[in-house]
Amino acid sequence: MKKEVKLQNSGKVLIINTATTEEVKVLKNCLLEEIKKHPLGLKLLGNTQSIFDKQVDFTAVFDFIKNVLISIDTSETTTNAIFDCLKHCVYDKTHKVTLSLFDEVEEAREDYYEIIFACIEENLKPFIKSLVSMWKTRLVKLGKDQLSNILSAILIS
């Protein structure tokens, strides 16, 4: 699969060529390992028994996202997995995306995070899409009571 993305900061074009399945699997596993390090820790507000009647304090969500992003960005293992996928991409129609690109083409530094996020998104999207559709089917079969018990266990732990 091949996709062209016009980068917002520089206006340059990033050509994303899909990484191998093995490279994407390693990337996915690295990202999941970083996510696992940070519990979500949502707080439920309200005195009712049903989880569906409670409000959620989302301040923990912002902390969770911040901590996960910092963890991903500072992990050498994850960075290596990202750049294994990026080696299939082309910046400004002439430059392979490697770590040295950001030294050789200084303006590429402005696009660093956008390049990384675009590559991750394009490579993981096909796998996530099938996972989401599978879980939608499973959750409908669970029913409201079982789903409520599962959500309570996840959110309160």
pLDDT tens sequence across 82-106: 999 999 999 999 999 999 999 999 9
- Evaluate whether residue 151 is within a structural domain: no
User: Taking all residues of the chain, what is their mean pLDDT, rounded to a whole number?
Assistant: 85
SS3 57: strand
* pLDDT > 90: percent of the chain: 61
Kindly state whether residue 12 falls inside one of the protein's structural domains.
yes
pLDDT mean over 99-116: 96
pLDDT, average across residues 60-73: 90
The answer to whether residue 145 is domain-embedded is no
Give the phi and the psi of residue 98 in degrees, each rounded to 5. -130, 170
Its pTM stands at 0.76
In this structure, is residue 34 part of a structural domain? yes
pLDDT of residue 157: 45
Whether residue 148 has pLDDT greater than 80: no
Q: What is the pLDDT of residue 12?
A: 97
Question: What is the dihedral sign for C-alpha 9, 20, 64, 57?
Answer: positive
Place of tokens 């409201």: 144
Whether pLDDT at 153 is above 80: no
Instruction: Tell me what percent of the residues of the chain surpass a pLDDT of 70.
Output: 73
Tokens read off for 61: 């969500």
- Give a yes or no: residue 79 inside a domain: yes
In terms of residue numbers, what domain contains 97? Answer: 2-125
The answer to whether position 147 is within a domain reads no
> What is the rounded average pLDDT of the residues 17-41?
93
> Alpha-carbon torsion 6, 9, 14, 19, what sign?
negative
pLDDT at 150: 61
Identify the pLDDT of residue 131. Answer: 72
Query: How many domains does the chain divide into?
Result: 1
